[in-house]
Structure 1
């Protein structure tokens, strides 16, 4: 279709030339055949006919140029339409549609693979995070158990320390009480020794006389008093520990008190032999 406009133009051009030549020959023959008197001369008629023929030829050339321009435009539009139709036909062809379908399937497959990789990465990350969290929880549980064990041991050690401190204080109080009782016993023994050292034979004989019942009772009372003092000075470990653990401070104060001495009148009576 792109070669048809030039052929039409060439045909129109050759036709116009033939027509102009035929008209020129007809005018020449008519001029030669008729030469009336008083009419324009042959030369004038030829010139007039030549101008007319030239004008017609120019008009034919203009029409031919316009026809050429219109044919080129039509050819271009026809070529474009043909190309568009061919492109559309090529686009709408089964092979093109099959190729587009294959491309779409490939893109879909690639997209699915990408999503699967992302899902696998997400699952792997989630599993890794869960593993780390489990390890952290296990370590936290171990640390908590160790802390609880250390706290229990610390409390147990503190309780033992307090118990040992109380036992030590009780033992110290008992030891101090024993020392005080020993001091009392020593003092009572010294008083008894002093009384017997100062007692003479007459006092002993008088105490053994049958008529000296009053003096004998008095000496028995003195002996009972010394016996009570000796019994009070006897050290009892269990009693001392119980008293020290129950009331360590009052017990210490009681132990700090001076030991009671023997009655002055009894000692003087022994010394005087009454």
Structure 2
């Protein structure tokens, strides 16, 4: 069952000049069709200006299509009377966690969302405990967010969204402002939520190493959806991705370069372990070939 569905989705930005002339139109999203099933971990890629963030903002009705339709859990985002329900189903996590943290104590911040939804007090505290535990932040419940690291703040922001019990979390480059350790913390927390709770995760990122964990990948360019497939399928198209001004994981790039040099390495290598295994197979094959050749030379000598 699809929790997110776009049918011929279009969105135009209008930029008005000071002289009152006709507005300049920017076609940010063009004829996008996609389906995301409940429980999936989805990654959306694209260079700056490709339309990926604009697309994400349609997934909880922050933006309304200028053409086509966006469905969230079977609800049309055009329907004003369903916007409140849509935003309970699909929560957003943005780049800068400071923009989402509103309280001076972690546990109060996490409880802010469900309190505004009118959740009873006892249930709020159950949700706060549950969300902090699932994001690995229970030990920091009494801390001030200002004293947390960037990765910890982002996990608090995720816990705040989780406390509202969404079916889907949309994350718009949530690790862009974090160091490598912070990025690892956040992605690990999100993967755990996806696997243990079945929460649908939609991750917009430009860090290719984060994409390898996704069930499916969508690639945007100039407002259009130009590729979709599993991470292995997408990263097997290295040259095409480069033309779209996108990188690939470092190990994928290395394997691709060696393949171009004639080594029998499969396309779409995603991890160091896969790369090592591929190299070992080549080495073992060459060793077996050398041994066979040596045996043949020995027999001929006899």
TM range (shorter): under 0.3
TM-score, length of structure 1 as denominator length: 0.18
> Which structure has the bigger radius of gyration?
1
Q: Which has the higher strand share?
A: 2
TM-score, length of structure 2 as denominator length: 0.17
